[in-house]
Amino acid sequence: MAELKNKDPELITNTIAIVSRLFVNYGWYVLAVIIIGVIVYHKYLRPLWDQMAERRERMSEDPDASARRQEQMDAARRRQQEIYDKQRQEYERKEQEKQTERQRQRNEVINSVDNSADIANELRKRQMRPLRDNSFNPLMGSSSGASYRPSRPACGPSDGGG
């Protein structure tokens, strides 16, 4: 008979020690979690599971039901697609109307500007006239004699001169 090489495996003893410490320190909490889990399973999850199983059985018994369901889904998709197509056509029609209205307004503006040469001449004059006098310099200050003069460099022991 083959002898065990490792009579006291460290992994197993450490695992047992960790689990025993867990139950010693948190035993009541672990017990409460287990009890709550069992109650939730029996009260909520089990009925849902049973309902799903019943649905599966009904579907496997009646193959025509799945075909009817598929036809109903296809009909609903067709109705939704028709509604979408109508909305899209309406939107495109409105956009086309907006575009033609914009083009009409542009043409009116162009025609009114072409017909009135005075407006065009006035626009050219405004573009050619400078907005301010060329002799203006904002850094010079007011013309009343007060002008900015930079301060003189300080002479002292910190300037490093000799």
User: Domain spans of the chain?
Assistant: 15-124
Is 52 a residue whose pLDDT tops 80? yes
The answer to whether residue 29 scores a pLDDT higher than 80 is yes
Could you tell me which residue, 127 or 151, shows the higher pLDDT? 151
Asked if residue 65 lies in contact with residue 58, where contact means CB atoms within 8 angstroms, the answer is yes
Q: Give the 3-state secondary structure of residue 131.
A: coil
Tokens of 137: 């310099």
Mean pLDDT of 141-147: 57
At 92 the pLDDT is 96
**Region 8-29: what's the mean pLDDT?**
85
Position 111 scores a pLDDT of 75
Which residues, 6+ apart, have CB-to-CB distance to 58 below 8 Å?
65
Which of residues 94 and 29 earns the better pLDDT score?
A: 94
Q: What's the whole-number mean pLDDT along residues 144-155? A: 66
pLDDT band at 160 (very low <50, low <70, confident <90, very high): low
Tell me what pLDDT residue 8 has. Answer: 67
Asked whether residue 36 carries a pLDDT value surpassing 90, the answer given is yes
* Contact in structure between 36 and 44 (CB atoms under 8 Å): no
Summarize pLDDT for 53-112 with one digit per residue, the tens: 888 887 777 778 778 888 999 999 999 999 999 999 999 999 999 999 999 988 887 777
Residue with tokens 């029996």: 42
Phi then psi dihedrals of residue 98, to 5 deg: -60, -40
Q: How much is the pLDDT for 11?
A: 82
- The answer to whether the beta carbons of residues 23 and 30 sit under 8 Å apart is yes
Q: Find out whether 148 and 141 touch, Cβ atoms under 8 Å.
A: yes
Average pLDDT, the chain: 79
pTM of the full structure: 0.35
CA distance linking residue 99 with residue 93, whole number of Å: 10
CA distance 115 to 125: 18
Look at the block and give the residue holding tokens 């405004």: 126
